[in-house]
Structure 1
Amino acid sequence: MTRTRILLPIAFGLSLTGVALTGAMAAQAAHDSGAPIDFSAAHIELQDKAKQAILSGDVVVKQANMTLDAARMTVHYTGQIIGGSPQISRLDAAGGVTVVRPGQRASAQYAVYDLNSRVVTLLGNVRLQQGSNTLNGGRAHINLDSGLATMDGSAVGNGSGTTRQQNGRVTGTFSAPKRNP
């Protein structure tokens, strides 16, 4: 398998059009993973013994300035209750997944948000967008603390087979900065 690993300054917090970060962009790189998580869904199934809840039907999850949408989501919790709320450890999303932060959007078939490591992993037909910059691949890891993301074009199993992003390669378009003559 050809594996391309590329650091993505486009992904969630850094600009390709300039080397220096403005204060607003630098502040955007870190995500408040300790913020409350609000959700809405058409249906919820609580599986207390398994320490999980299954949300389905146009699921929308919001935390700080990030929104995660999917057709279905499994919320895993530790069983620990703090301040009257169960402590969530991971969100597994499937079906038309999108992750949106100010000025940035990611989409994929599947996503895993690990709240302990503060990493979002996107799988299957991944597309990252910031302005006119786009990247496409098979899998992306986004560190919400640093804003650093990696992407590769690897194959992704989907239970009934395997999907592969354009011959296992990362593709994309970067906008070039305008230069004065």
Structure 2
Amino acid sequence: MSACLAASFAILALSPFGLAISPALAQKSNSGGVLPGGNSKEPINVEAAKLDYFDKEQKLVYTGNVVATQGESKLKATTLVIFLTPKDAGEPAGAPSSSSQMRRMEAAGPVTVISKDQIGTGDSGIYEKSESKVYLIGNVTLTQGANVTKGDKLIYDLNTNQAAVTGRVRSMFLPSNSDDANHKKPAKTQ
């Protein structure tokens, strides 16, 4: 994994998740975003074919071509479940209040997290606010340009902007093209 990939996406969202997604959810993190590369000062926008709200469980379930964005970061998934903090006893039933905060996100995939020129994919993803971590799980692939890292699981810490890829890890790094220019033969002069 390149240093740039590790630093900004580190990856994760992802992001989402960040998720990212990003991802604001991670108020303790340096970037503050829920999605890797996201910014807590920017809203999280979610688009989907359908939204189901479960008041008793305090969860939102987005289904059908889900796209969540926060600043320059984007999370794509088939399903996105957002778990809110439990309501205060005095709050009326119904839709989430303006004081509701996200405590966890789960994305079912395939899941894709895009942050600038970095892309992370996996079978599923999780953002855990209490840990300030984003996870991509199953068939994880991270790309930045032509550089690719694959593994079974990615753990991205939003506080430290560090990532760990676990499982059997495989990476491929291509040399930069700038070296090729320095090694070209000089043109013949007549």
User: When the two structures are superposed, what TM-score results if normalisation uses the length of structure 1?
Assistant: 0.71
| Corresponding residue of 2:42 | 35
Aligned length: 148
Q: Aligned-pair RMSD on alpha carbons?
A: 2.7
Structure-2 residue corresponding to 1:11:
6
Which whole-Å deviations, capped at 9, do the CAs of 1:20-72 have from their partners, x for residues lacking one? xxxxxxx9x86424532110111111111111111100011112221111001
Q: How far apart are the structure 1 equivalents of 2:137 and 2:37?
A: 22
Mark the runs of 5 or more structure 1 residues left unpaired by the alignment.
1-6, 16-26, 154-168
Question: Runs of 4 or more off by more than 6 Å in structure 1?
Answer: none
CA contact (8 A) 2:83 2:105 kept: yes
What's the counterpart of residue 102 of structure 1? 116
CA contact (8 A) 1:30 1:144 kept: no
What are the within-5 Å matches in structure 2 for residues 65-80 of structure 1?
65-79=72-86
Q: Which has the higher strand share?
A: 1
Where structure 2 has 5 or more consecutive residues not aligned to the other structure, the ranges are: 11-30, 89-95, 184-190
Work out the CA distance in 2 between the residues paired with 1:126 and 1:101.
Answer: 16
Which of 148, 151, 159 aligns to 2:162? It is: 148
Q: By how many angstroms is 1:13 displaced?
A: 2.0
Deviation of the 1:98 alpha carbon? 0.3
C-alpha distance 34-51 of structure 1, shift in aligned 2 (>3 A): farther
Contact 1:30 1:147 in 2 (8 A): no
SS in 2 for 1:79: coil
Q: Does 1:111 align with 2:125?
A: yes
Larger radius of gyration: 2
TM-score normalised by length of structure 2: 0.68
